[in-house]
Amino acid sequence: MTKYYTLKNDIEDILTAFETSERKADDPNGEVLVLSGLTYQRDHIFPNPDDLLAMGQKCQLQFHRALALILKGEWERGFACKENCWPSNATHPFTDALSDPKEHAVKAANLNPDTAELFAVFQRNGNQATEAGYEASDFDTMVQQIILADLHLVRNNGPEMARFSEKETARQAMLQDTSEVQRESFWRERCRWGQAQEELDTKHAEVERWRLMNAETKREYQSLFGRWEVELQEAMVRWLPLNLRKMLKEANPSLSEKQIAEKIAKAETFYKEKEKLKKLRHDEATLAPILPHKVGFGIKMDFDQLREYRARAKSLLRELYFKIHPDRLKLDPAYQRLTEAQKQELKAMLQQALEISPSELGCFVEHDMRSVQSLEDCLSRVDAILENAGLDTRIDAQIQGRTLPEQLEWLHRTIVSLKERLEDAETALHKLYNDPEVKPKRDFLACSEQHQSYRDELARETAEYRTKADQLEEEIKASFAQKGG
């Protein structure tokens, strides 16, 4: 989990650094707005982007750091609204509530900023975005990189932000020394990279939608037929060993009951039926009780809220799939030290972390997407698994390479990798749609007129197996009594 460093502390760090810097000594008008001025101006509790940028300009804050500070302010505002910790009669800044750096549920608030508006903020304050080398599309890509790498949550003057700023500044300087043709080529490849990533994000969202739909199909099927199927399987598991016992005794009358019991316990057929019963009982106990949560009881959202919600879910999916992808894991030295068995176990654990939990079923937003909360829980599980295995959970979402040819080569390789991953996602989607366990259930659920007759048939078979089991018990008891068992 990312260690959160609050906006209030960031502002205090920036003001303190400016107060002791030579820049202030050289500036006769070196006074800046104090923190209370930032938070109380015009009766608002949170600093708005223009106020934060004004402070950043006065303190000569580097462009990327100023942007990250503004994004943190937007995140805190969103966090406050979601957690209902911004009372209407508040008399102190919300930032006091997060005054100490500590582990926070930093994914608790959606952050899907209006990058066009943020771009306009920098442009109306001295064309700072274009001066830093960014047009609107490049600016949007860079903002998404900051969010994906959680740089809006860490210390503004910390090493993570410093590395990002250094790389981005060096890239812009490098591009200034290239020809128009080279810059056009770089821009085109960067757009292709973004487009390929967006296509993959959309496909992963579709995969997770079908994963949720399949789990919901199992839940609905279990709620309608689970009890009857469990009762039938219980009757079969009772009848099967009795039938085996009878056949074994008839084939070899000299066998004792203890010997017969040992053979039955080793019988593969009996083992499979017991395992099937165990699974049916588990599904019936965990899925069927979810029925009272009427489907369609999801969170009500307007168009803008739903759009932001979907964007946040897609961002979480990008982070999840990035962290668990083999190509990314192979670059971690800690992964190379794992044995093949450990690598396979890690792969299985990471895939399991994406599975649908019962709490996600029966009630979800718009019926066609996994909730942000469930994806945040998945991400927490993935991070915990990676950390326990000694692997790095940080994300470097920047283009790699020191020179323009190196960066173009990195973009080309990454685009190829994204296309391959898109094919993998297509394959996964196909498997989910044609899941041999789920598809017949989905088709049968669509035939509601057959549901009662199926329950009646299950009840009839259950009664037959119970009757046959009762008869076998009597026959076996009589057989062992006559032959001295």
- pLDDT (tens digit, 9 = 90+) per residue, 54-82? 888 888 899 999 999 999 988 887 776 66
125 versus 366: the higher-pLDDT residue is 125
Rounded distance between C-alpha atoms, residue 236 and residue 229, angstroms: 11
What's the predicted TM-score (pTM) here?
A: 0.64
Q: What's the token pair of residue 206?
A: 């579709």
Confidence of residue 230 (pLDDT cuts 50, 70, 90): very high
Q: Tell me: pLDDT of 36 over 70.
A: no
Angstrom distances, CA of residue 458 to CA of 228, 230, 292: 6, 10, 23
Q: 68 phi and psi, to 5 degrees? A: -60, -35
Rank 122-126, 308-312, 360-364 by mean pLDDT and report only the highest.
122-126
* Residue in 58, 60, 78 with CA at minimum distance from that of residue 7: 78
Residue 374 has a pLDDT of 84
Residue 297 has a pLDDT of 44
* Residue in 466, 451, 476, 470 with CA at minimum distance from that of residue 225: 451
Residues 433-442 have a mean pLDDT of: 92
Residue 103 has a pLDDT of 43
7 versus 35: the higher-pLDDT residue is 7
114: exposed, middle or buried (C-beta count within 10 Å: 0-12, 13-18, 19+)? exposed
Q: Tell me: pLDDT of 425 over 90.
A: yes
Any long-range contacts for 452-457 (C-beta under 8 Å, 24+ apart)? 454/225, 455/224, 455/225, 455/228
248 contacts 482 by C-beta, under 8 angstroms: no
Residue 145 has a pLDDT of 81
Confidence of residue 200 (pLDDT cuts 50, 70, 90): very high
* Residue in 372, 393, 399 with CA at minimum distance from that of residue 308: 372
Residue 98 has a pLDDT of 46
Amino acid at 18: F
Q: 79 phi and psi, to 5 degrees? A: -60, -45
